[in-house]
Amino acid sequence: MKTTDTNSKSRPKNRLRMMTWSLLFIIISAMVLPLTSYLISTTNSYAQVTDDQNHRANFWRAVREGEAGYSAVTGPEAGVFINNGGQNWRQVRNNLITTYGGWAILASLGLVVLFYLIKGKIRVEAEKSGKTVPRWTLMERTMHWYTAILFIILSITGLSMLFGRAVLIPLLGAEGFAAWASLSISVHNFVGPFFTLGVFAMLLFWVKNNIPNATDFKWIATGGGIIGNAHPSAGKANGGEKVWYWLVILVGLLAVCGSGIVLIGWAAQWGLIDNTRATMQTMHQIHAIAAIIWMIAFFGHAYIGTLGTEGALEGMTTGRVSVEWAKQHHDLWYDEVKDQAADAEELEVSEKQPDVSPT
């Protein structure tokens, strides 16, 4: 019986000893085992693995550098997981284009207002006879206003996308902006091709008016009567209008509309260009920068066509301009078309009559 007693007392003792040793073993192992990596790193060849032999590092480096892997998604670069160029593009868009472009647009608007305050409207100097001469046909006017209205829609939706985060989120809230931004993108992409047709029509219909000649250089050199008070000679289009026209064609049609057609994916569908991310990033930058230049020039054009010059808008709305306006602003053109002036014969006669005013 005594033996039995001793056994039953020694059992908890043994258990305690086992537990203590086990615990010690676990603690010591937990401290020592991690140190074995040092041992391995100094003895094993694995320690000699350099960066470029580290397969995982190599794998991710290749991914970062844009190497294509396998993907079930189809399309160009579908297997490219990480696109480094995107980061550079974002930097250029969000810092350079948005900041400098935004200031350039505001500065040009400010300049137009300042110019108006200093110079005011350029008036038709001669007394009006009521006689008019045809300047723009219905077709030309329709083409002009069709393009101008689409230009304004594209400017508003384009600017919403470029500056929306900074300007519209504080006004509309994040959800309001999200709804407006998604509508803007759809409208912009839909209207863009129709607008391109309008600009293309301008190229075809107005190129004959806009071939530069020596008169245009003189017009520009004398400030066109806009800066200063000279009345330099001009044909149907003056030097300033020709500059605007070629800007519309080269910056507008080629750079803005051309890059837009790439961005909506049509150029790739027609097999003209690939639509890789690098292409899209470059095209986006060209599109945004050229569109900002175009908008800045447009403020000048719209100002001169409305507030800046008496009688110019009349031509683009009714199709006719006063004879006095035509002589003052486009004398060489007036000489060509004066026969079409209403009551032209009477006008010629009245011009030749001597001054019979009673004095």
Binding site residues, ligand HEM, CB under 6 A: 135, 144, 147-148, 151, 199, 202, 206, 209-210, 237, 241, 244-245, 248, 252, 298, 301-302, 305-306, 312-313, 315-316
Joined together, the tokens standing for residue 137 give 């046909």
User: How many Å apart are CA 66 and CA 216, to the nearest integer?
Assistant: 52
By beta-carbon proximity to ligand HEM, the closer residue of 278 and 302 is 302
Q: Is 114 helix (H, G, I), strand (E, B) or coil?
A: helix
By beta-carbon proximity to ligand HEM, the closer residue of 241 and 268 is 241
By beta-carbon proximity to ligand HEM, the closer residue of 207 and 221 is 207
CB of 220 to ligand HEM, least distance (A): 15
CB of 241 to ligand HEM, least distance (A): 4
| 160 within 8 A of 153, measured Cβ to Cβ | no
Cβ atoms within 10 Å of 279's Cβ, excluding its own: 17
CB of 60 to ligand HEM, least distance (A): 48
By beta-carbon proximity to ligand HEM, the closer residue of 189 and 209 is 209
The radius of gyration of the chain from alpha carbons, rounded to an integer in Å, stands at 38
Amino acid sitting at position 123: R
By beta-carbon proximity to ligand HEM, the closer residue of 101 and 235 is 235
By beta-carbon proximity to ligand HEM, the closer residue of 93 and 218 is 218
By beta-carbon proximity to ligand HEM, the closer residue of 177 and 206 is 206
CB of 95 to ligand HEM, least distance (A): 29
By beta-carbon proximity to ligand HEM, the closer residue of 254 and 313 is 313
Nearest to 95 by CA among 288, 294, 277, 297: 288
Position of minimal CB gap to ligand HEM: 305
CB of 334 to ligand HEM, least distance (A): 12
The H-or-E segment that residue 167 falls in is: helix 138-167
User: How many Å apart are CA 143 and CA 92, to the nearest integer?
Assistant: 35
Q: What is the DSSP string of 251-262?
A: IIIIIIIHHHHH
E-strand ranges in the chain read 132-134, 320-322
CB of 88 to ligand HEM, least distance (A): 31
Q: What is the DSSP string of 186-251?
A: HHHHHHHHHHHHHHHHHHHHHGGGG---HHHHHHHHTTBTTBSS------SS-HHHHHHHHHIIII
CB neighbour list of residue 26: distance below 8 Å, 6 or more residues apart: none
| 226 within 8 A of 122, measured Cβ to Cβ | yes
CB of 320 to ligand HEM, least distance (A): 10
CB of 284 to ligand HEM, least distance (A): 21
